[in-house]
Amino acid sequence: MKADKSALSILGGPPAFAEPLHVGRPNVGDRSRLLQRIEAMLDRRWLSNQGPLVSEFEERIAAYVGAKHCIAMCNATVALEIAIRALGLTGEVIVPAFTFIATAHALQWQEITPVFCDIDPNTHTLDPEWVRRMITPRTSGIIGVHVWGRACPIDALTEIADENGLSLLFDAAHAFGASYRGRMIGGFGAAEVFSFHATKFINCGEGGAVVTNDDCLAEKMRLMRNFGFSGLDQVTYIGTNGKMPELSAAMGLTTFESRDEFVATNERNYRAYAAELASIPGLSLITYDPAERCNFQYALVEVDAAAAGLSRDELADVLWAENVRARRYFYPGCHRMEPYASLFPHASLVLRATEAVAGRVLLLPTGTAVGLDEIREICQILRLATGSAGDVRRALESRRQVPVERRKVA
């Protein structure tokens, strides 16, 4: 462990980690069980088109979250696109700008305008009062986004949607295994969309799913994900190719079976970060409601630059120099990415909480690839950096003045 500021890589010391320590490195689960599933799949020679592994995955996910239907997809972006189309959304849909870009793209791709709404600075999710203000005659729906394994204000959004005759869809990419008021995320709104991307604690390598209690909506989405086929030679609806392959389902089932182990590891890491960061001024770990179930998938720090002596971006640079690939989520916000920055150049004027939160949050590595020793080292780096803020800032400014080519040589 680095003993003093001179050991910081930004001040001339060697990096703390020989290999990059990433945010969201994939969990694998029982490798032998995964290989058994793959061997059986190869023996069956059934690799796609709603094989037995996909069907089992859907059944187990639906039962776990308490929803009637789970429609597995090749990824969560396609799942969002299909859910949006199945709901018949048109015109404008209200979404947070503080989300992964796919939430907005799934709308814009279908020529639906994402109307970016501000968030509550404390929860990082949609602010219901701002949602009310953004409704126009062209509004057809609301997409609430659960972030960090914490639910957005479901009851308030449901009330607004019902009052205004709007469809309510939830992007639950961060929230598998989490609950809201004692109920598992997955049974709210018209539908909820999960991501099972490699970075998620339960993953298919690449995959997603829509869960819903609406029988008609489920049937429509099943048709849509498979070109509209309702029989061997019968197409009864317009569709695309959104099917999950068997190989992805094999990975999904295997990681799903290890979910308790993964959550326990995530919680252990979260509590280790909380203990270490408590003594560092200006750094606060987000909190989780002890009354709710949580996946503890995200170790998110909010940086108070005045108290820490360094900004979030400066601390990110310090960590990257140590081979800690901390991430700025969801920086800089969808509204500052294309095509939205050009379409809505003044959006930041009504997204003040979004701007503030996007400028101060930093995601730290966790999951089964990170142990307690790594967490102590990461926090020691942050402790040393904030304790020597002046020296660190001068070193960072000096590095910025060095041409990129020379930095690479060095």
pLDDT digits (tens, 9 = 90+) for 170-179: 999 999 999 9
Residues 6+ apart with CB under 8 A from 206: 74, 75, 196, 197, 198, 248
Residue 407: predicted pLDDT: 46
**Residue among 56, 28, 53, 58 at smallest CA distance from 41:** 53
The CATH number linked to 220 is 3.40.640.10
Mean pLDDT of the chain: 96
Residue 299: which domain range? 5-26+259-326+365-409
**Residue among 148, 155, 204 at smallest CA distance from 171:** 148
Tell me, yes or no, whether 185 and 199 share the same domain. Answer: yes
pLDDT digits (tens, 9 = 90+) for 206-222: 999 999 999 999 999 99
* CA–CA dist 169, 30 (Å, integer): 34
Residue 395: predicted pLDDT: 95
The answer to the question of residue 360 being in a domain is no
* CA–CA dist 134, 139 (Å, integer): 9
Among the candidates 257, 277, 312, a domain finishes at: 257
- Would you say residue 280 has pLDDT above 90? yes
Residues 6+ apart with CB under 8 A from 133: none
The answer to the question of residue 213 being in a domain is yes
Average pLDDT over residues 39-67: 98
Tell me, yes or no, whether 308 and 199 share the same domain. Answer: no
Tell me, yes or no, whether 215 and 313 share the same domain. Answer: no
The CATH number linked to 321 is 3.90.1150.10
Tokens of 371: 């142990």
Tell me, yes or no, whether 277 and 195 share the same domain. Answer: no
Using 50, 70 and 90 to split pLDDT, how confident is the model at 24?
Answer: confident
* CA–CA dist 216, 305 (Å, integer): 51
Residue 111 neighbours by CB distance under 10 Å: 8
Among the candidates 257, 278, 310, a domain finishes at: 257
The answer to the question of residue 12 being in a domain is yes
Give the total number of structural domains in the chain: 2
pLDDT digits (tens, 9 = 90+) for 79-101: 999 999 999 999 999 999 999 99
Strand 299-303 to 283-285 pairing:
antiparallel
The answer to the question of residue 126 being in a domain is yes
Among the candidates 257, 279, 309, a domain finishes at: 257
Tell me, yes or no, whether 74 and 19 share the same domain. Answer: no
pLDDT digits (tens, 9 = 90+) for 221-277: 999 999 999 999 999 999 999 999 999 999 999 999 999 999 999 999 999 999 999
Residues 6+ apart with CB under 8 A from 121: 353, 356, 357
* CA–CA dist 61, 176 (Å, integer): 10
Q: Which residues of 313-337 are buried (b: 16+ CB within 10 A; e: fewer)?
A: bbbbbbbbbbbbbbbebbbebbbbb
- Would you say residue 400 has pLDDT above 90? no
Evaluate whether 142 touches 160 at the Cβ level (below 8 Å). yes
Residue 404: predicted pLDDT: 44
Using 50, 70 and 90 to split pLDDT, how confident is the model at 403?
Answer: low
The answer to the question of residue 219 being in a domain is yes
The answer to the question of residue 277 being in a domain is yes
The answer to the question of residue 358 being in a domain is no
Tokens of 315: 């601390």
Instruction: Give the chain's length.
Output: 410
pLDDT digits (tens, 9 = 90+) for 296-310: 999 999 999 999 999
Burial class (CB in 10 A: 0-12, 13-18, 19+), 4: exposed
The answer to the question of residue 253 being in a domain is yes
Tell me, yes or no, whether 183 and 232 share the same domain. Answer: yes
Tell me, yes or no, whether 252 and 376 share the same domain. Answer: no
Residue 140 three-state SS = strand
Tell me, yes or no, whether 57 and 174 share the same domain. Answer: yes
Tell me, yes or no, whether 292 and 165 share the same domain. Answer: no
Tell me, yes or no, whether 309 and 237 share the same domain. Answer: no
- The CA-atom distances, in angstroms, between 370 and each of 166, 178, 248, 263 are 43, 22, 24, 13
Evaluate whether 80 touches 103 at the Cβ level (below 8 Å). yes
- Would you say residue 17 has pLDDT above 60? yes
Per DSSP (E only), the strands in 166-251 are 167-171, 179-180, 183-184, 191-195, 208-212, 229-231, 234-235
Tell me, yes or no, whether 379 and 314 share the same domain. Answer: yes
pLDDT digits (tens, 9 = 90+) for 336-394: 999 999 999 999 999 999 999 999 999 999 999 999 999 999 999 999 999 999 999 99
Tell me, yes or no, whether 16 and 114 share the same domain. Answer: no
